[in-house]
Amino acid sequence: MGEHVATRIDGNAMAAELHARLADEVRELRAAGVRPGLATVLVGEDYPAQAYERRVRRLAEELDCAYVCEHLPGDVELAEALATVGKLNADPRITGILVLRPLPPQVPEVELYRILSPTKDIEAVTPVNAGLLAQGRPRFIPSTPAACFHMLDTYLRSTGRDPATAYDGVNLVLVGRSNNVGKPAVWLGLQRNATVISAHHYTDQAGRLADFTRIADILIVAVGRRGLVTGDMVREGVIAIDVGINPVRDEATGKVRLVGDLDFESVAARAEAISPVPGGVGPMTDIWLLHNTVRAAAMRAHLPHPPEMTL
């Protein structure tokens, strides 16, 4: 018997397909006199946040969307950060605003989200947008959980399973409960009729993380800890999605590479399918952020807006 090889879920290929669709939608909006615009707010010098900002800037430029990055120093005062968000709320060129994390302690994210305009809140972090998502009628679906489920839906279709029923009753285990990934993914999983289990730091601290990851039919890991989940912590045939982005510096060359929260080789040896890092959720997240920016532009102009690509 040959060695088992998990199917690699190719986020780059899926992102390229969505990129083409989105380019068409932007052209249609431009023909109607509307230009989508994305703004990012970056505080400090966090490496993954800076890498993300560079990627979305490049993508916005490729799609002919306006783009602004407000890069604030790590010691910025809360009042200045709030004023920056307020300025972007009022800027008619901007249809979507992304506040990059992490934020320093003196700038609590809840304070920025409190004043963020819900119609520009493309990551659904404001209370009203998070509430709409929880009720199953989202204005925007946050980009990373949306990317995860688009990848899962697309993979399931490729194997002849209908995403409308494929999740019914299956064990969907989410590791990580952040406001921008873990919690929204809970709602998206419930809307698909999965049996959803949310595990997190305290589950791990109690020594029980593997108890839950081992019963997952579908596993989504979004913690930010390199190699947190290993092959002995998953069952045969799991479908595993890795959201982790962890920079690792090669001591010999000084180069930085990104690795995920899954120990890729050992999990792939048992999984039915697995998403890699890089080349998995990341490219899909980037394109989804622009999808939401375009959607926001169409909504503001009272034009037909792109239907949600998932749900």
Spell out the per-residue pLDDT of the chain, length 311, in tens: 457 789 999 999 999 999 999 999 999 999 999 999 999 999 999 987 998 999 999 999 999 999 999 999 999 999 999 999 999 999 999 999 999 999 999 999 999 999 999 999 999 999 999 999 999 999 999 999 999 999 999 999 999 999 999 999 999 999 999 989 999 999 999 999 999 999 999 999 999 999 999 999 999 999 999 999 999 999 999 999 999 988 888 888 889 888 999 999 999 999 999 999 999 999 999 999 999 999 999 999 988 765 554 44
Do residues 309 and 133 lie in contact, with contact meaning Cβ atoms separated by under 8 Å?
no
Check whether residue 106 and residue 190 sit in a common domain. no
Domain membership of residue 134 (yes or no) is: no
Contacts of 79 (CB under 8 A, 6+ apart): none
Instruction: Mark whether 168 and 102 lie in a shared domain.
Output: no
Indicate whether 174 and 72 sit together in one domain: no
Domain residues for 95?
Answer: 32-125
65 within domain boundaries: yes
> What spatial distance separates the first Cα and last Cα of the chain, rounded to whole Å?
39
In a domain, 87, yes or no: yes
Does residue 106 come out as left (phi exceeding 0), alpha (psi in the -120 to 50 range) or beta? alpha
Q: Are residues 268 and 151 in the same domain?
A: yes
Is 16 part of a structural domain of the chain? no
Q: Are 205 and 164 part of one and the same domain?
A: yes
Query: Does this model's pTM top 0.95?
Result: no
CA neighbours within 13 Å on the CB side: how many for 292?
A: 30
Task: Tell whether 169 is covered by a domain.
Answer: yes
235 torsion bin: left (phi>0), alpha (psi -120 to 50), beta (else): beta
Q: Is residue 297 part of a domain?
A: no
Q: How many domains does the chain have?
A: 2
Q: Do 208 and 159 lie in a common domain?
A: yes
If we measure between CA atoms, which residue out of 293, 228, 230, 239 comes closest to residue 56? 293
- Same domain membership, residue 148 and residue 120: no
Task: Report residue 136: phi and psi, to 5°.
Answer: 85, 15
Domain presence at residue 277 = yes
Q: What is the CATH number of the domain that holds 54?
A: 3.40.50.10860
Contact by Cβ (8 Å): 200, 183? no
Torsion of CA 260, 263, 266, 270, to 10 degrees: -60
CB 97 within 8 A of CB 116: yes
